[in-house]
Copies of this chain bind each other. A is one copy, B any other.
Amino acid sequence: MRKKRLCMVGAGRVGRLHTRNITERVGHRAEVAAIVDPDRRTAEELAGDYDVSVVCSSLDEALEGGDFDGVVITTPTFTHHPLAVRALDAGLHVHLEKPMAMNLRECAEIKASAERAGAALQVGFMRRFDHDFIQAAELLRGGAIGAPVIIKSLTHGPGLPPPWANDIRTSNGMLAEVNSHDLDTVGWFADSAPVDIHVRVANFKGAARGVSTEHFYDTMLATIAFESGALASIAGVCPADYGYDARVEVTCTGGMVQVGEAGPAGLVSISAGEARRCAPVFASWRDRFAEAYVREMAEFVAATDGAPVRVGAEDGTRAVALVLAGTLSMLEERTVSLTEVTSPAFVPSWQAAARSEA
């Protein structure tokens, strides 16, 4: 069986993680055949580490020179739309990191490109590939504990994201960059369409860490109502400093389920000097979701062979709609209906690009 040839776009932290996993953990079925990054030095360093022979400065350059089965896009959010459309229009399968895009127009165009090309589009919500999250979803679908009534999901990230990711003009901010995962999870678990969202934010650490970006926040609490009547609460804290924390708890009409822990469970120690039982915490999303990221790439490779995609344009678009409605809720201090942002007339006025286009 010929190995699938993948083009890795973006040589940052996520690009490096996917490159390693494809090479070392899915290496019998796929290889990273090219690495694309406008920062050539970073791209070359990554290529060197994993014996990737081709390095390009742009996706165009890579597509001209090479023959690929799929493209893995791990660049900043504001670049997702042009890169994904370019790859899909070239007939290539695409794994696209979360959040899917900046707004719903971009989402719709990416989706249309995928449909035209008949290509697979997988969106990078790695929780969907985590064993415990999958088990929980099956438990919820199975009905043994009834229907969800309250879904609580949290993502606390350890450190300050890069400037573009903190700025709602370039990325829709923390709600998009950190809590997209929660927005996806609560919809997945609710198995129902979101109706409206209410968002409150706070800024505790920005000043001390030199962030003066307008509308910056490091603390967020969202409430989402679903058509089923279920309610969701999403908490975001970033930087949280104490570790990477991603947990979900679902209260149902006939029971409850908790997914995730703040750290691995298999090592507990007591030091006589402290007289406390202590266990490690997850330092990073790379630790917490190590196996989920591997499975994500393995399934993407399978998707380039026609296997169904676990999470695609529809889910990605729903999360972006919630990001937009949630950001509007924060800015206007009111509950925002999803229909407001899904209206063709809606323009996310806080986005630099949207403003220049409008």
Contact = CB atoms under 8 A, between A and B. Distances in A.
B205 A223 contact: no
A271 B251 contact: no
Interface of A: 1, 23-29, 51, 131-132, 135-136, 139, 144-147, 149-150, 152, 156, 198, 200, 202-205, 218-219, 221, 223, 225, 229-231, 233, 235, 237, 240-243, 245, 251, 253-281, 283, 291, 333-335
Contacts of A276: 263, 278-281
A152 to B, nearest CB: 7
12 contacts: A25-B25, A131-B266, A135-B280, A145-B272, A149-B218, A150-B237, A156-B251, A200-B231, A202-B231, A241-B272, A243-B270, A260-B266
Given A223-B221, A223-B223, A272-B254, A264 B267 contact: no
A269 B334 CA distance: 34
The winner among A136, A263, A281 for most chain B CB atoms within 10 A is A281
A242 B275 CA distance: 5
A205 B150 contact: no
A272 B146 CA distance: 9
A149 B251 contact: no
B277 A279 contact: yes
Nearest to A257: B269
A198 B223 contact: yes
A279 B259 CA distance: 10
A295 B295 CA distance: 17
A132 B275 contact: no
Contacts of A150: 219, 221, 235, 237
A265 B259 CA distance: 9
A281 B271 contact: no
A98 to B, nearest CB: 21
A265 B268 contact: no
Contacts of A200: 198, 223, 225, 231
A26 B132 CA distance: 25
Contacts of A25: 24-25
A291 B294 CA distance: 12
A263 to B, nearest CB: 6
Given A257-B268, A266-B261, A243 B198 contact: no
Contacts of A139: 269
B334 A237 contact: no
Contacts of A245: 256
B278 A267 contact: no
Nearest to A294: B25
Contact of A265 (B136, B237, B261, B334): B261
Contacts of A27: 26-29
A69 to B, nearest CB: 17
Nearest to A241: B272
The winner among A255, A260, A263, A280 for most chain B CB atoms within 10 A is A255
